[in-house]
Chains A and B, each alone.
Chain A
């Protein structure tokens, strides 16, 4: 029973990270009908940039509490990611709005390759360690060991998701986003600047991804230039699981996938009699994706894709 609660807790926390990244995928797919292959690498850039800035700031020995330095570092990395998202859309996707769908998929792959290799050129192929900023003793709730940091991760993720929800439902931009997602042609006729909306969606998704990337790095203690691919794939699976294009779906999908993965990692050895251990845990995201697409392709909460897609 202990394992169950522990893994449940772990699953929810990693799930919240997946959810934040999944939001980026789902918003883009909902409006443009394309998979932003480069999104995972934008997350990576956010993580690596933050770690670098944080390490530098700590190195200056300014006497400021490291947690605060972390906030500063993230705030510095956010515009980098937002700008990156904006640039990717402008250069690699916008010219291909009317091309067959294979085209932006391939440019997305190209951008992903570029980002990964640029990162490797800047930071090398190895891991960047996340500085020991948030060490605290874990305490036990209901049999699961959780650190304060993990709680903060979860809370922050929920806050961000709620913030996005409010933005989408209550603001002018959000209304424009929803209109564009339904039908960009009609939205344009209503006076919505569709290009600006699409850019905003990319910047928003990239920013959320940046924060998620930092959380992920803090959780696992390190980041590397190639972390974006797997992370992106899992988050995309989460988005599909919840229903692509559906914001609540991305959130739900993220949590569900996180829990499934954690449960799998915890119990796989038992289930297979030691044959397969937790090194196979990455498979779960794929298996979930395949299962969803075969059994219920519109996802748990139903997909919301624009009429162009």
Chain B
């Protein structure tokens, strides 16, 4: 009697499940080539979508499972990214292998997750949100200003020339050749990120059905009753922060290698809110929902941007407004609309639906 994420899944025959699974695998493997037909930038977009999947899954542990509203989650992304940037680039001329930095980044970010989470353990929901927001801003401020007296982060200029990943001597950045065509590095990073996302999904699924996972949900549902069960809510919450942060750290490190440079502007409040929205709008606590949220919220702005530019040309003959503003505007409106009309998210977990539509 395993926990059902989607109750009706059990009703389908196991053969059709296997077929669907097989099709999905093939689709995922061929995806970058399909996207590449629409233009090489779409493969990069897919890479970013996968990075955001990692972030969303990480935040899902904190917000979705444990019910802790974290508005400063991007700080762990920043920590992971800057760690790789500092330790694998010409900036300080240290060149640790980025592969090694994956587990180190995870551990480092996880530790910080516990540190930043510790002061928030006794706070009410809204206050928790604001304090975590504050922490996110503080981390960003430090990244922006740690260029004196010792230049660690290179301040507002950021760090560039970060080492890309390489496997068996071949640098990811240089791409590969197949059947006579050359495919750039984005393809290779796609497969790497896909593997990482799958690993993270596996970890999340195992955590969901474990003693700690149940303790998280218990705390989210009713913290007092959870305490009455003998659950050490303090430690369990710290585990949630640490686990979620570690995923963020891994994603950040990958981001640094992939993009080749980092600067403080990538790690502001808006990014934290974006990830939160992916979790909330996709369906809090639900792995599939959160992934859908991440993919949707990464792809839609790109699609919008692609559409708005020609639209403005057609309507006004020129660019009247910055397309970035338009897409953020739409995002804000969509956020409000979503909460007003379908707050449980696209693929809700059981209870949320009842919580919002109880009458």
Contact = CB atoms under 8 A, between A and B. Distances in A.
B339 A112 contact: no
A101 B339 CA distance: 12
B123 A110 contact: no
A117 interface: yes
A290 B334 CA distance: 32
Contacts, number: 109
Contacts of A106: 276-277, 280, 335, 339
Contacts of B332: 110-114, 117
Interface in B105-143: 119, 122-123, 125-127, 129-131, 133-135, 137-138, 141
B328 interface: yes
Contacts of A297: 122-123, 127
B271 to A, nearest CB: 12
B326 interface: yes
Contact of B141 (A95, A110, A274, A283): A283
Nearest to A120: B325
A117 B277 CA distance: 18
A286 interface: yes
B131 A99 contact: no
B141 A282 contact: yes
A275 interface: yes
Contact of B137 (A121, A240, A274, A286): A286
B236 to A, nearest CB: 20
B168 to A, nearest CB: 44
A286 B123 CA distance: 15
A105 B129 contact: yes
Interface string A85-119: 00000011001100111110111011111101110
Contact of B335 (A109, A116, A283, A290): A109
Contact of A290 (B126, B131, B149, B277): B131
A167 interface: no
Interface in A119-135: 120-121, 125
Contacts of B133: 233
A107 B336 contact: yes
Contact of B336 (A111, A233, A276, A293): A111
A103 B331 CA distance: 16
Given A92-B336, A110-B336, A102 B125 contact: yes
A121 B322 contact: yes
A35 interface: yes
A216 interface: no
A294 B339 contact: no
Nearest to B280: A106
Contacts of A118: 329
Contacts of A113: 270, 273, 328-329, 331-332, 335
Interface string A34-78: 110000000000000000000000000000000000000000000
A229 B125 contact: no
B160 to A, nearest CB: 22
A231 to B, nearest CB: 13
B119 A289 contact: no
Nearest to B63: A102
B269 A96 contact: no
B336 A102 contact: no
B170 interface: no
A259 B125 CA distance: 29
Interface in A263-309: 274-276, 279-280, 282-283, 286, 289-290, 293-294, 297
Nearest to A294: B119
A18 interface: no
Given A113-B332, A117-B332, A283-B141, A103 B123 contact: no
A110 B336 CA distance: 5
A13 to B, nearest CB: 24
Nearest to B284: A102
B203 interface: no
A254 B145 CA distance: 27
A106 B326 CA distance: 19
Interface in B232-267: none
Nearest to B334: A110
A100 B339 CA distance: 11
A289 B145 contact: no
Contacts of A290: 119, 131, 134-135
A202 interface: no
B329 to A, nearest CB: 4
A100 B130 CA distance: 17
A293 B131 contact: yes
B270 to A, nearest CB: 8
A117 B325 contact: yes
Contact of A114 (B69, B131, B336, B343): B336
A112 B336 CA distance: 10
A110 B270 CA distance: 11
Nearest to B127: A293
Interface of A: 34-35, 91-92, 95-96, 99-103, 105-107, 109-114, 116-118, 120-121, 125, 229, 233, 236, 240, 274-276, 279-280, 282-283, 286, 289-290, 293-294, 297
Please name the 5 residue pairs, one residue from A and one from B, whose CB atoms are nearest each other, closest first: A113-B332, A110-B335, A286-B134, A114-B332, A110-B336
5 contacts: A101-B126, A106-B277, A116-B328, A274-B149, A297-B127
Given A110-B336, A117-B325, 13 more contacts: A34-B126, A35-B129, A105-B126, A106-B276, A107-B339, A113-B273, A113-B331, A118-B329, A236-B130, A283-B138, A294-B119, A297-B122, A297-B127
Interface of B: 69, 119, 122-123, 125-127, 129-131, 133-135, 137-138, 141, 145, 148-149, 269-270, 273, 276-277, 280, 321-322, 325-326, 328-329, 331-336, 339-340, 343, 355-356
